[in-house]
């Protein structure tokens, strides 16, 4: 039986041949001085340079280093998900492989976790990126995400984070969801805190995840909002829209009929009547969608036995 591991470091890599070895040396320098057992999991996300070869060398050199190879580039969320699935540590730390995250911040994350927090999120307080193309869009996005999800963080995009294992075990990732883990986990009632971390300019290679994915992030944010607010009761959102549409259509129809009966205004040339009827049908459709979604949600929860609550501690004898 394998001995338990204290910390797993999960690092997605995509064409980072110039950064792998320096990153490993920095990690070793930090982790070797800490009184913890650890593993370093590199996830090669379809690199076409010598990244895979270099990590292979590290695996042969150090039994604490592991490599997960993807057949092709699946993206950062998929790479993190694979790392989570194979991590054995009680605490899981994620970081980028481009040397912009500082391994020297790892002790700070671990210390904060030990203070009783479930998630510690890094905040690149002095971010070393271009203002117009990276920092400004990031500031706007973080404000929007915080408002929509209700989980206020200055820097959702910082990969440097620490998680307790029980948090990660209850999260399934897809799309661009890795940045939303704190928000998704908030439904469990977890304790989340943000700490300032060092951020360094990139010295080798180029950024692989730029502003082009903004649209995907926005769409995933809509998904997260739905999951946080309406995943257990979809009838609340679809039914509300349906009732509003039905009410407006019904009232409009009533007014038109009243005008026809009292003031003898014809209905044949009234486009408003067509709009009212359409709103009534749309209302019925939305309510029906809500009911169907309710049935699907119940089937989903029952088939996967997905819990509707999460227990943090149990005290006393069973």
**Are both 111 and 223 inside the same structural domain?**
yes
**Are both 25 and 97 inside the same structural domain?**
yes
Average pLDDT for consecutive 10-residue bins of the chain (318 residues)? 84 94 96 92 92 92 92 88 92 95 96 96 87 78 88 92 94 80 90 95 67 66 77 79 93 91 83 92 91 76 56 45
**How many domains are there within the chain?**
2
**Are both 168 and 275 inside the same structural domain?**
no
Q: What is the pLDDT of residue 211?
A: 52
**Are both 73 and 182 inside the same structural domain?**
yes
310: Cβ contacts below 8 Å, ≥ 6 apart: 170, 187, 188, 189
**Are both 243 and 217 inside the same structural domain?**
no
**Are both 165 and 283 inside the same structural domain?**
no
Range of the domain at 138: 5-229
**Are both 75 and 192 inside the same structural domain?**
yes
Instruction: Write the CA distances from 294 to 230, 236, 274, 280, 298, integer angstroms.
Output: 10, 10, 30, 21, 6
CA angle 296, 302, 304 (to 5 degrees): 100
SS3 of residue 175 by DSSP: coil
**Would you say 286 and 244 are in contact if contact means Cβ atoms under 8 Å apart?**
no
**Are both 135 and 258 inside the same structural domain?**
no
Q: What is the pLDDT of residue 307?
A: 55
**Would you say 153 and 226 are in contact if contact means Cβ atoms under 8 Å apart?**
no
Q: What is the pLDDT of residue 316?
A: 46
Q: Classify residue 317: in a domain, yes or no.
A: no
**Would you say 287 and 243 are in contact if contact means Cβ atoms under 8 Å apart?**
yes
In b/e form, how buried is each residue of 27-51, taking b as 16+ CB within 10 angstroms?
Answer: bbebbeeeeeebbbbbbbbbbeeeb
CA-CA distance, 167 to 161, in Å (whole number)?
13
Q: What is the pLDDT of residue 314?
A: 44
SS3 content of the chain, % helix, strand, coil (to 5): 50, 15, 35
Give just the sign of the alpha carbon dihedral 49, 50, 56, 61: negative
Q: What is the pLDDT of residue 207?
A: 62
CA-CA distance, 270 to 113, in Å (whole number)?
66
**Are both 187 and 61 inside the same structural domain?**
yes
pTM: 0.78
**Would you say 185 and 171 are in contact if contact means Cβ atoms under 8 Å apart?**
yes
**In sequence order, what DSSP letters do the residues of 57-97 get, joined into one string?**
HHHHH-TTEEEEE-SS---HHHHHHHHHHH--EEEEEE--S
Longest CA–CA span in the chain (Å) reads 92
Task: Output the domain CATH number for residue 108.
Answer: 3.90.550.10
CA-CA distance, 159 to 140, in Å (whole number)?
18
State the DSSP H helix or E strand holding residue 161, giving kind and residue range, or none if neither.
Answer: strand 161-164
Q: Which of 183, 201, 229 is the last residue of a domain?
A: 229
Q: Which of 199, 229, 259 is the last residue of a domain?
A: 229
286: its two tokens: 């939305």
Q: Which of 229, 247, 282 is the last residue of a domain?
A: 229
């Amino acid at each position: 039986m394998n001995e338990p591991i204290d910390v797993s470091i999960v690092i997605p890599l995509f064409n980072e041949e110039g950064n792998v070895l320096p990153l490993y040396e920095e990690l070793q320098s930090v982790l070797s001085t800490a009184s913890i057992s650890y593993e370093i999991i590199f996830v090669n996300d379809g690199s076409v340079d010598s990244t895979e070869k270099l990590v292979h060398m590290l695996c042969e050199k150090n039994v604490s280093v592991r490599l997960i190879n993807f057949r092709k580039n699946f993206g950062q969320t998929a790479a993190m998900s694979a790392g989570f699935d194979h991590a054995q540590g009680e605490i899981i730390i994620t970081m980028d492989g481009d040397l912009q995250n500082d391994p020297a911040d790892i002790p700070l994350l671990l210390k904060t976790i030990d203070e009783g927090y479930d998630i510690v999120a890094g905040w690149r307080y002095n971010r070393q990126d271009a203002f117009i193309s990276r920092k400004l869009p990031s500031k706007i996005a973080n404000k929007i995400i915080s408002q929509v999800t209700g989980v206020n963080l200055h820097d959702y995009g910082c990969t440097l984070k620490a998680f307790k294992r029980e948090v990660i075990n209850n999260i399934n990732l897809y799309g661009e969801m890795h940045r939303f883990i704190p928000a998704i986990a908030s439904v469990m009632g977890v304790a989340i805190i943000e700490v300032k971390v060092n951020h360094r300019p990139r010295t080798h290679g180029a950024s692989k995840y730029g502003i082009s994915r903004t649209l995907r992030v926005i769409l995933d944010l809509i998904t997260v909002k739905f999951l946080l607010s309406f995943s257990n009761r979809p009838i609340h959102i679809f039914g509300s829209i349906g009732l509003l549409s039905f009410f407006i259509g019904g009232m409009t129809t009533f007014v038109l009929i009243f005008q026809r009966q009292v003031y003898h205004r014809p209905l044949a040339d009234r486009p408003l009547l067509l709009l009212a009827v359409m709103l009534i049908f749309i209302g019925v459709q939305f309510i029906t969608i809500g009911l169907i979604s309710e049935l699907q949600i119940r089937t989903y929860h029952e088939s996967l036995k997905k819990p509707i609550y999460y227990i943090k501690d149990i005290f006393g004898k069973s």
